[in-house]
Structure 1
Amino acid sequence: MTRRPLMSLLAALLATLSLPAARADEAPPFPPVQQEELYVSAMKALADGRPDDATRLLMRFLEKEPQHAGAWLDLAISQCELGHGTEAERLFVEIERRFAPPPGIVEVIQGHRARGCHPLPPGRRDLLSLSAGRGYDNNVNQGASSAFFSTGSGANYLQWQLTPEYLPKADGYSLLSADYSGNLGQSKLLGFAQLRVRRHDHEHEQDMTSALVGLEQPWQLGQWRGRATAGLSALQLNGHYYQRQAQVQLRATPPVDLPEALEWSLTSGLSHVTYPTRTKYDANTVELGSTLNYRDNVRQALAGVGVLSDHGQAGRLGGNRDGWYGNLLLYSNLGERFSGQLGWTRQVWRGASVYSPNVIDLVRRQDTRLLTASVSMQLPAHHSLQLEWRSTQNRENISLFQYNSRSLQLTWHWDGF
């Protein structure tokens, strides 16, 4: 197997490094750009589906930093996405020889080899994924933790016992999902769609179907960059139209000097939720948050925190409410074919007024905590299996709404490109 393309690249890099200085009356071959900005621009080009631009920028970056293993890998991937399979393979081989990459990077290389290198249509990056799974939940209906609750106060105090239909019900379920995203025309505007279907073995009142469509636009203003997203979704319960939602979100990454592995971003969002079959439930929610993301070759950690304000229709039980949320996500490769993930989320709400005067004389305080753990196994030809355990604890000061649930789910994924 000839090594000419790779050696030509190395020769070009060495030749560039040894070029004599330009005369004062000659324009430099490229405008002066900081190396960090050059690499960020290359990563953005890859993310936006412009492998030709990414290749050009990465070769400029490698002129001054030829030992940057990540840039070599990104260059190989951009060559693969341009359809230059032979050159991409030679770059992969050179990366393995020079840098002895860890298992996570080896898995990335093997994935590109398995899929093959096929050029993308200009300006397009279409992604399709399908999933199917089976699971078991010990409380599919979010039944109350206690069979007893009270209403009123003083002379109006009464204690009640819930009927079995409002207590936890365990059941198995099956689910199907499909996700699609792709650039619209030659622009950077991304369109996406999702479909989710969940069917239970016995508790069919909890059967769900949901659909989401949306648009996402990357943007840059000076040294600030980010993405703007808009989406519409609808949810059915047991075949009946239950909820629809419209949402817009803005994510911005400020030009803060952080280590290469860290990224800090700000988020803001506005959503409007409508319940077609329920009165006085519609609401508008405003969100302001912040996210810190860490990533290296084998692991990723994400932490977020934010505040929420929810304004409902006049007459909604409990009135308006304010709250906050926090989340933590940890991901790591566990070998050549396995990866693991841990997640924790907490969301707290506090109502503005008594929930239901003379019936439930309390200001509602909601505290929901979600803990997840999963292990994934990579299979050939874009396939994978995931086993996930999930625990939900809904701690409230109104016992009628308190519930706990545990679920275990096995899911098959197929990622097509």
Structure 2
Amino acid sequence: MKLPFILATALLALNPLPLLAQDAGSQTPAGTPTEQDLLYREALQAMSEGRSTDAVAMLQRFIDKEPRHAGAWLDLAISQCELGNAAEAERLFREVELRFAPPAGILEAIARYRATGCGKQAPRQAAWLLSATRGHDDNVNQGARDPRFAVGTGSERVDYELDPSYLPRSDGFNQLSASYLRQLNGKGTQFIAQAYGRRHDREHQQDTGSVLGALEHTWDVRSWRLRGTAALGYVTLDGALYQRQQQLQARLSPRQKPLPELDLALSANLSRADYPTRPNYNGTTIELGGIANYRGKRSLTQAVLTRLHDNSRELRPGGDRGGWFGSLQWYGETAERLTLEAGLSHQHWRSDRIYSPGLIEIRRLQNTTTLRGAAQWALRPHTSVVLEWRGTINRENISLFQYNSRALQLSLRWDNF
């Protein structure tokens, strides 16, 4: 499969000297990336996005000036193989073997690519992930934190005690999830599919499922890279269709990075959510924001900040709403087989109108904070176990909607074999 080999190739690029003989003169004395360095990184980016045709052109230009760079020779061979150019790929594989004496791991990668035949009739490269999960959530129904609730104002105020069905209910659950990514061509077009199903031990009215399909394409326009995505999804609740989703997304980033480790992008998202059984809650959400990724030697830190506006139907309580979303995520390889993740996100919404005139005489204000931590341990190639904890704190000025939730789950994952 493609991803393990791209990873091996990326490792060659990041730390080539212990693996293959290299030309050490590609950096300036001050360590500033040269034009050649930037060209090579751009070629690796094209490979990771499935744009093999672009990658071949850039790698050939790179090798013309850096003929002793073994990693680039191997990347060029892999790209030619993925384009179905078997004869050229074989010539390049032989060059790598004869000129650079690669270690056993690289020879094994070459052998597996050769086994595909590099034929255009061979299946396109794909990546997939399957996960089986057992977990427990102390509030599967998002039950209200406060059992008391009041409606009306002044002398018309009436206090109620919520029915137990509206209070938090804890339960265990089993979940299956799968994702699939397939490169449709060598020019940056790919198909993405995701699906999951969750079944609870007792609270079956909270059983959920979803399926989503998307097409994604990447364009290079002068000094900019544009990635566009169109997606369609369906969500079920207790076995019935609960929500239909349509989404268009664009992400624009400069091809020349301000720093080699830093990726910056602007994002725009237009999504539509329809509720067949609750049409008054249908809405269209517009999101505009920015994304920053910082890549360390063995870690990735991502920051997202987005402005939100949700256009609703006239009859939805509170009408339209505006807000923002921010998140900070960190991923790091702390040991040979251990990867840790941590995340913090916050979402703020404020409605434009009174929520329910005569009953709840305020504009709804919602603040939701989510904390997440996970540890992934590789049992063997393509198989890992993941322990994940997630906590949600939902604070609102309408007590009926306030809730806390904590979930712990253990998953067994399989990928790309």
Q: TM-score band, normalised by the shorter chain?
A: 0.7 to 0.9
The answer to whether the 8 Å contact 1:346/1:370 transfers is yes
**1:58-87 alpha-carbon deviations (Å, 9 max, x no partner):** 4653676689xxx75565466467487887
Matched with 2:180 is 180
Moved more, 207-216 or 124-133: 124-133
Secondary structure at the aligned position of 1:46 is classed as helix
**1:194-238 alpha-carbon deviations (Å, 9 max, x no partner):** 111000000001100100011101111111002100000000000
Aligned amino acid, residue 307 of structure 2: V
Secondary structure at the aligned position of 1:280 is classed as helix
**1:318-344 alpha-carbon deviations (Å, 9 max, x no partner):** 010000010001011011100100011
Cα separation, partners in 2 of 1:152 and 1:338, compared to 1, 3 Å? same
Moved more, 87-96 or 386-395: 87-96
- CA distance in 1 between partners of 2:187 and 2:60 (Å): 25
Matched with 2:278 is 278
Matched with 2:42 is 41
Q: Unaligned 5+ residue runs, structure 1?
A: 1-5, 18-32, 97-108
Which residues of 2 match residues 285-304 of structure 1 at below 5 A?
285-304=285-304
Question: Are 2:62 and 1:61 equivalent residues in the alignment?
Answer: yes
- Structure 1 residue 40, shift from structure 2 partner: 3.8
Secondary structure at the aligned position of 1:379 is classed as strand
- Structure 1 residue 178, shift from structure 2 partner: 1.4
The answer to whether the 8 Å contact 2:60/2:76 transfers is no
Matched with 2:406 is 406
Q: Unaligned 5+ residue runs, structure 2?
A: 1-16, 27-33, 82-88
Moved more, 71-80 or 35-44: 71-80
Question: What's the RMSD between the two structures over aligned residues?
Answer: 3.3
- CA distance in 1 between partners of 2:99 and 2:195 (Å): 38
Aligned amino acid, residue 372 of structure 1: R
Moved more, 42-51 or 391-400: 42-51
Matched with 2:374 is 374
The answer to whether the 8 Å contact 2:52/2:187 transfers is no
- CA distance in 1 between partners of 2:173 and 2:111 (Å): 32
Cα separation, partners in 2 of 1:169 and 1:114, compared to 1, 3 Å? farther
- CA distance in 2 between partners of 1:180 and 1:314 (Å): 38
Matched with 2:226 is 226
Secondary structure at the aligned position of 1:355 is classed as strand
Matched with 2:171 is 171
Matched with 2:162 is 162
Which residues of 2 match residues 11-30 of structure 1 at below 5 A?
none
- CA distance in 1 between partners of 2:415 and 2:185 (Å): 22
Moved beyond 6 Å, runs of 4+: 83-93
The answer to whether the 8 Å contact 1:52/1:78 transfers is no
Question: Are 2:329 and 1:329 equivalent residues in the alignment?
Answer: yes
The answer to whether the 8 Å contact 1:46/1:78 transfers is no
- CA distance in 2 between partners of 1:54 and 1:232 (Å): 30
**1:260-302 alpha-carbon deviations (Å, 9 max, x no partner):** 0001000001011100001311101000010000113201100
Matched with 1:99 is none
- CA distance in 2 between partners of 1:337 and 1:384 (Å): 9
Matched with 2:129 is 129
Secondary structure at the aligned position of 1:155 is classed as helix
Matched with 1:354 is 354
- CA distance in 1 between partners of 2:378 and 2:360 (Å): 51
Cα separation, partners in 2 of 1:87 and 1:237, compared to 1, 3 Å? farther
> Across the two proteins, how many residue pairs are aligned to each other?
377
User: What is the TM-score of this pair, normalised by structure 1?
Assistant: 0.81
